[in-house]
Amino acid sequence: MTTLRYHVKLLNYDYLLITGIVWALGAFLTWFSYHTLNLGDMTISVLELVFPVPVAVLASAAFAGDPAREVVCTAERPVWQIVASRIAVVLGLLAVMAVLFDAYLAVLNIPLPGDGGWLEKQLVWFSPSLVLIFASLLASLWSRSATVGASVAVGVWLLEIILHDLLIGDAVLQGVWLDVSRRIFLFATLWETGVPFWLLNRELLAGIAAVLAVACLWRMSRTEWLLGGE
């Protein structure tokens, strides 16, 4: 528990504040758009589009943003375990944000988006968040820069939003390519509402995140890759 407390304290306080503001803003917009404009999309947008970004940015600093990383690498505890604990803290923060939001939606009597039961509906935010968290972590480990890691996550997020018509429409992609693109599209709940492969999409995203996590583990297997000196 002591270690966990320190991992929480090491999180960038400014980012934590921004994350809190993002949550509050999302909560307000959801209430406003549902009760005033009668729009359900805002709920999906907050959970699927907005929540993954601040946590992906936090994940980018899990190792590359550590000012004492050279000393951390000489500690008896393996680096991957230290980074895994920090990522667990980030995921915990995300879970708290999402569960609080679920409770908030229940209070406002707004239905949860997504298919299946309560647990499956949590995949609305969980799967895209996992992909962005591990993409961000991998990029930060590769570049040894938290800024690069965060930029990659935000870049992927922005591209998927800006190019969503191209990624899930048939203007450019056809056949198998289009099928694949739709099934690994990060924001399928919002822009592919009601498609039968929604759960498969969430599972595939979790699979991609797992591959990225393995790549992170491999990258952490040699200290010189983390600190420079190849």
Partner 1 sequence: MQIQLEHLSKTYSGNVQAVRDVHLSIQPGLIGLLGPNGAGKTTLMRMLATLLTPTEGTARIGNYDVRQAADRRQIKRILGYLPQELGLYPNLSAYEFLDYMAILKGLHDGKARKQRISELLEMVSLADVAKRRLRGFSGGMKRRVGLAQAMLNDPQFLIVDEPTAGLDPEERIRIRTMLSELALAGGRVIILSTHIVEDVAQTCRRLVVLHKGQVRFDGAPEELAALAEGRTWQMTTSGARPEHLAIASILPRAGGIEYRVIGDPRPEDHATPLAPTLEDGYLWLMSGLGTKETALNLLRS
67 binds partner 1 (CB under 8 A): yes
> CB-wise, 82 or 139, nearer to partner 1?
82
187, amino acid identity? F
Smallest gap from residue 109 Cβ to partner 1 (A): 40
Residue 103 near residue 49, CB atoms below 8 Å = no
Cα–Cα dist 230/216, whole Å: 17
| The two structure tokens encoding residue 175 | 């056949």
Asked if residue 77 binds partner 1 (CB under 8 A), the reply is yes
**Interaction of residue 119 with partner 1, rule CB under 8 A:** no
Positive/negative CA dihedral, 70, 94, 49, 172: positive
Position 211 contacts partner 1 (CB under 8 A): no
CA distances from 85 to 4, 62, 63, 80, 145 (A): 7, 9, 11, 9, 19
Q: Which of 38, 71, 107, 118 binds partner 1 (CB under 8 A)?
A: 71
Least spacing, CB of residue 141 vs partner 1, in Å: 15
Q: Which residues contact 125 (CB under 8 A, 6 or more apart)?
A: 47, 48, 51, 52, 94, 98
C-alpha to C-alpha distance for 120 and 80, rounded to whole angstroms: 29
End-to-end CA distance of the chain: 36
Choice between 35 and 222, CB closer to partner 1: 222
Distances (CA, A) of 81 to 45, 111, 138, 218, 229: 33, 38, 15, 13, 22
Instruction: Establish if 73 lies at the interface with partner 1 (CB under 8 A).
Output: yes
Q: Would you count residue 1 as binding partner 1 (CB under 8 A)?
A: no
Nearest to 216 by CA among 111, 104, 81: 81
Q: Which stretch binds partner 1 (CB under 8 A): 7-15, 118-126, 141-149, 203-211?
A: 7-15
Identified binder of partner 1 from the candidate list 21, 24, 37, 75, rule CB under 8 A: 75
- 220 touches partner 1 by CB under 8 A: no
| x/- map, 78-117, partner 1, by CB under 8 A | x---x-----------------------------------
CA 106 to chain centre: 23
Q: Which stretch binds partner 1 (CB under 8 A): 33-41, 44-52, 72-80, 196-204?
A: 72-80
Between 114 and 149, whose beta carbon lies closer to partner 1?
149
Q: Does 72 bind partner 1 (CB under 8 A)?
A: yes
Total of residues contacting partner 1 (CB under 8 A): 26
Residue labelled with tokens 């729009």? 39
Binding site for partner 1 (CB under 8 A): 2-3, 6, 9-10, 13, 66-78, 82, 222-224, 227, 229-230
